[in-house]
Amino acid sequence: MGGHVLTTYGLPRAPHVDNEQLCREYRRETNYNQEELAVQVDEQYQKLTEDQRSAYTAFLEMVNGEIEDHNNIMFLDAPGGTVPEELGKCVEKLEDLKARVYPDLSLNGKHPDWLAERAIVSPLNANVNKLNKWLMSEFPGQEKVYKSIDTTTNDDEAVQYPTDFLNSIELSGMPPHLLKVKVGSPIMILRSLDPPQTINGTRCVVTRLHENLIEATIIFGPYKGQALLIPRIPLIPSDSELPFAFRRLQFPVRPCFAMSINKSQGQTFKTIDIDLTNPCFSHGMFYVVVSRTGTSKNLYILANQRKTRNVVLH
């Protein structure tokens, strides 16, 4: 896709399949069991926080036409027609998203609690990476760059896949070759280092930067305020369409001013911006992201021509 592997865009690995298998998959996706889906929805609802339940209920009321207020209308391009719904406040460009969720970043960014209660969310990892690079450059302080050491797991393939090529690979769930962070900036843990305290998806702020160690403090969840020591560790992609395996020695973290919709699951924010310049691409993804905050007053959406696609299986 555009010269990049699918996982760069946060998409699942796409194995080669024959036409018969494709037909089976299509039938499964278009003829799901409604009763089983209802059970799954109920199970997921039980896991929502009070604020998330409030947002989810309000959203369903809008979908069912129980709310008549259509100020700040956003149009959802869904099967069956275009449905106007009150979801949040639409903005015109990325700079507007930043102004809403990260106003006066150079001043407010000094406060971990302020950073913990806000985020920009996008369906695609490629967009998330661009947003994080941009916001990290706007964040005050001196930037430190950590370079990974990348090698093939099979020594016989080292000549085929030179280091420069390995350095250029960016995959979902993996830190970049060039990890750029600043003291005070938010980061997300990408591996379960010390469960249940430090798991994949834990959000922190950097407190000190050393050559071979990052000190951080957890800013969300039951272990909020807990200090962490994050070492470099060897990381091997668990799900990749690459024809070879490689190892990356790097800190298992990424900046998290912005995050993917999948990574936002289970988290609640006071203010959230949704970048839908690329629409959601899987069933239920849109519902997940609009329920990350408890009120539409703090929900901002960027979408081309105020439209986006809500993927719903029938």
Residue 103 carries which side chain, given as an amino acid letter? Answer: P
| Containing structural domain, residue 135 | 31-139+257-314
Residues pairing with 205 in the sheet: 186, 217
Residues pairing with 208 in the sheet: 215
Distance (Å, whole) CA 54 – CA 202: 24
Domain edge (last residue) among 254, 274, 303 = 254
For residues 304 and 90, is the Cβ–Cβ distance under 8 A? no
Alpha-carbon torsion angle 103, 109, 113, 115, nearest 10: 70
Is residue 9 included in any domain, yes or no?
no
Q: Are residues 63 and 74 in the same domain?
A: yes
Q: Are residues 147 and 173 in the same domain?
A: yes
Written as tens digits, the pLDDT of the chain (314 aa) is 344 444 443 444 444 444 444 455 445 555 556 677 677 777 777 777 776 677 667 766 665 555 554 443 344 444 433 333 456 788 888 898 899 999 999 999 999 999 999 999 998 899 999 999 999 999 999 999 999 999 999 999 989 999 999 999 999 889 999 999 999 999 999 999 999 999 999 999 999 999 999 999 999 989 999 999 999 999 999 877 788 999 999 999 999 999 998 888 878 898 988 888 887 777 667 777 777 887 778 888 887 766 666 655 44
Domain edge (last residue) among 204, 237, 254 = 254
The predicted model scores a pTM of: 0.72
Q: Are residues 116 and 265 in the same domain?
A: yes
Q: Are residues 247 and 154 in the same domain?
A: yes
Domain edge (last residue) among 254, 279, 300 = 254
Question: Phi/psi of residue 308, each to 5°?
Answer: -150, 170
Q: What pLDDT score was predicted for residue 11?
A: 40
Q: What pLDDT score was predicted for residue 82?
A: 34
Distance (Å, whole) CA 265 – CA 255: 17
Q: How many domains does the chain have?
A: 2
